[in-house]
Amino acid sequence: MKIDDDKFSRQVQGGQKWKTSKIQGSIKNGHGTLVYPTGFGKTFTTLLICSNIIEANIEHDFDYTFHITVPSVPMKEQWEDKILDYFDSKAVLEKYFKIRVINTVMGALERVSCYMSILDEIHEYVNEDRQALLRGDIVMTKFLLGLTATYKDRKEVSDILDVYCPVVDYITEEEAIEEGWLSNFIEYNLGIDLKPDERKQYEHYSESITELLQMFGDQGFSLSTKCLGGGKDERGVELRNMEWCRKWAEANGWKPNLPSTPENNEINKNWSPFAIIMYAKSLMAYTRKRKELLYNSNTKLDCAVEVLKKFNTLKTICFSQSTDFADELCDKLKDEIDELVSVAYHSNLQTQMLPNLKTGKVSKHGITRLKKRAIELFRSNVARIMCTASALDRGFDENDIDLGLTTSGTSNPIQYKQRGGRVKRVNKDGKYEKALLINIYFKHTKDQEWLTSRQYSSIHEIINVNTINEIKYEIK
């Protein structure tokens, strides 16, 4: 593994801060969270700590030396790759490390013990059920290390971490850029218009959503979601979905066996529990259709291709919210630029018959082999463009990605920061240089609202443009 000299001493310092940390009111060392911006090297710092423990040859009677909990399967695979890269040994991975996805950990029947529990993306473990991991109820541990880049985005995260795994080292994105540990960005928001037929469809969906939301009063989406899937009431009592439907029906005048009068018949028609669940289903259906229109529009697809044609020398990662869009973009780039220019990586890759990259022998490639193939082609620069949905939002680290193109995203600033962290330009001297981010969005739609929300705390230089020609960027 190549060491980044500019970061290394600071990463060593972070490991030392964790080692000597103490929980308030306790004599325990080694319980704490590292808050580093995406791309700084949380994983590398963790493996520095792990290597010191391995070298110390500490004897123990635990099930595992290092138990790593991650939010998703792609992150599990990325941890495995990084451990293999760091130690250059599969034997070390198999002997010392156990990496499991959080749903597997939470669903396991037995508790396990380890010398050190590592909770990656620890901000995702603060809800009531997952706090069992912080307390050590499921994975019993001597030492606890949390990793996150999003400590201050939600107050409840910082409050809970202060109790179980307090922050012991914190590096801001501004500091990392100023110190030369991360790439800075120039960022463009490229606003485009829906075509007339798309605009008509969008307005129909939006009007239907507005009308249906009114059926749920001030509680809107929150109540409609409970009417479909259940949830807790104001006292913390868990209610099934039809119980919520009945409560809201009664709040609007409905009762079982109402006498038959014109007024009561109207109430039965409009406010029975079954009417309410139909409102909720229709609301979700129209919301989904509106998202699909914004996510999968051919107008946006054509625009993305034109952007990538303009910047035809930049190594690029393209983010969307739809695996169908990722596939369509990948295929369109192959057709219009070159067969080898792009690869797709997401959770819905379809099995294909492809030649082995080493032997050339054609064989069946399922999703696991297709993912590995995509990463290998991209890392070796055979493919210049990676088309993905959300599978690579976190944990995918390459130092030669010039352009991050986002065609759709949520309103969540955490996702925005994570995606930006995937884009890094390191020159031949090992120095980080300014990279390019482009966000394509539909003007005067929810797409624009989501973009504005996720960018609210951005420190980047953001330029709003209406045409591709207004985007100016040159590699030094």
Task: For 221-280, write each residue's pLDDT tens digit.
Answer: 999 999 999 999 888 899 999 999 999 999 999 998 888 898 988 998 999 999 999 999
pLDDT digits (tens, 9 = 90+) for 62-76: 999 999 999 888 889
User: Both 313 and 272 in a single domain?
Assistant: no
Local confidence band at 153 (pLDDT 50, 70, 90 cut-offs): low
**Could you give the angle at the alpha carbon of 342 between the alpha carbons of 434 and 474, nearest 5°?**
25
pLDDT digits (tens, 9 = 90+) for 367-377: 888 998 999 99
Last residue of a domain, one of 252, 273, 294: 294
User: Both 155 and 289 in a single domain?
Assistant: no
- Domain annotation covers residue 475: no
pLDDT digits (tens, 9 = 90+) for 35-47: 998 888 899 999 9
User: Both 70 and 207 in a single domain?
Assistant: no
User: Both 23 and 115 in a single domain?
Assistant: yes
Q: What percent of the chain has pLDDT over 90?
A: 58
pLDDT digits (tens, 9 = 90+) for 80-132: 989 998 998 899 999 999 999 999 998 887 899 999 999 999 988 888 888 88
Neighbours of 236 (CB within 10 A): 7
Last residue of a domain, one of 125, 149, 178: 178
User: Both 399 and 321 in a single domain?
Assistant: yes
Angular region, 271: left φ>0, alpha ψ -120 to 50, beta rest: alpha
Find which of 23-32, 122-131, 155-164, 246-255 is predicted with most confidence, using mean pLDDT.
Answer: 246-255
User: Both 15 and 164 in a single domain?
Assistant: yes
pLDDT digits (tens, 9 = 90+) for 388-447: 998 887 767 777 889 999 999 999 888 888 888 888 766 666 677 788 999 999 999 999
Residue 27 has a pLDDT of: 40
**Residue 248: which residues within 8 A CB-CB, separation 6 or more?**
216, 223, 227, 276
User: Both 289 and 308 in a single domain?
Assistant: no
Report the CATH number at residue 16. 3.40.50.300
- Domain annotation covers residue 264: yes
Last residue of a domain, one of 178, 207, 232: 178
- Domain annotation covers residue 23: yes
Total domains, the chain:
3
Local confidence band at 61 (pLDDT 50, 70, 90 cut-offs): confident
User: Both 232 and 120 in a single domain?
Assistant: no
Alpha carbon distance 267, 288 (integer Å): 29
User: Both 245 and 118 in a single domain?
Assistant: no
Across the chain, mean pLDDT equals 89
- Domain annotation covers residue 153: yes
Neighbours of 414 (CB within 10 A): 20
- Domain annotation covers residue 67: yes
- Domain annotation covers residue 120: yes
Low-confidence winner among 78-87, 285-294, 356-365, 391-400 (lowest mean pLDDT): 391-400
Alpha carbon distance 396, 413 (integer Å): 18
Domain span at residue 361 reads 185-194+297-470
User: Both 80 and 166 in a single domain?
Assistant: yes
Is the pLDDT confidence value at 287 over 70?
yes
Residue 426 has a pLDDT of: 67
**Residue scoring higher pLDDT (151 or 337):** 337
Range 174-190 average pLDDT:
88
- Domain annotation covers residue 476: no
Residue 6 has a pLDDT of: 72
User: Both 98 and 233 in a single domain?
Assistant: no
- Domain annotation covers residue 307: yes
pTM for the predicted model, two decimal places: 0.83
User: Both 65 and 156 in a single domain?
Assistant: yes
Alpha carbon distance 295, 409 (integer Å): 8
